[in-house]
Structure 1
Amino acid sequence: MGSLSIWHWVIVLVVVLLLFGRGKISDLMGDVAKGIKSFKKGLADDEDQDKPAASGSTETAEPRPLPHQATKSAEAEKKPV
């Protein structure tokens, strides 16, 4: 009742191949590989964009309120009197 034997896995593999076929499985794995490559490229692009902004500016920027948090009173506080 514990783990599955090799024969269980062979039967599962045969059933999966019969249901999906070789073509669909290889297409699916290709799509997974493309998704992983795209994810890694996106992470690399984010790191490249963050580096110049951090090293180029030595001043600290004032935090901006989010659009849904901006109110007229917050705008009035910023204006010198």
Structure 2
Amino acid sequence: MGIFDWKHWVVILIVVVLVFGTKRLKTLGSDVGEAVKGFRKAMNTEEDEKPQQPNPPLNQPTTIDAQAHKVEEPARKD
């Protein structure tokens, strides 16, 4: 039973149709479908535009170029 009972879903569907109307629900469904299609298209084109960079071999050493600087702190007066 509970909320997954088919009778509850029928009542909820009837209330939603009465509140919003079938025309508004139809346009809402098509808008959601277009948004999902646009999202999928954007995800596919984004993956195609990425340049393929070769990964460096794992057994090759790499060098990090950096320089350390000593920071002087002012003397504390206790």
* Superposed pair shares fold, TM > 0.5: yes
Instruction: Tell me what 1:14 maps to.
Output: 14
Gaps of 5+ in 2: 55-78
Q: CA RMSD in A?
A: 2.1
Equivalences for residues 25-64 of structure 1 within 5 A: 25-50=25-50, 53-54=51-52
The percentage of aligned residue pairs carrying the same residue is 32
TM-score, length of structure 1 as denominator length:
0.57
Which one has the bigger helix percentage?
1
TM-score, length of structure 2 as denominator length:
0.59
Provide the aligned length of Structure 1 versus Structure 2: 54
Greater CA radius of gyration, 1 or 2? 2
Higher relative contact order (CA 8 A, sep 6+): 2
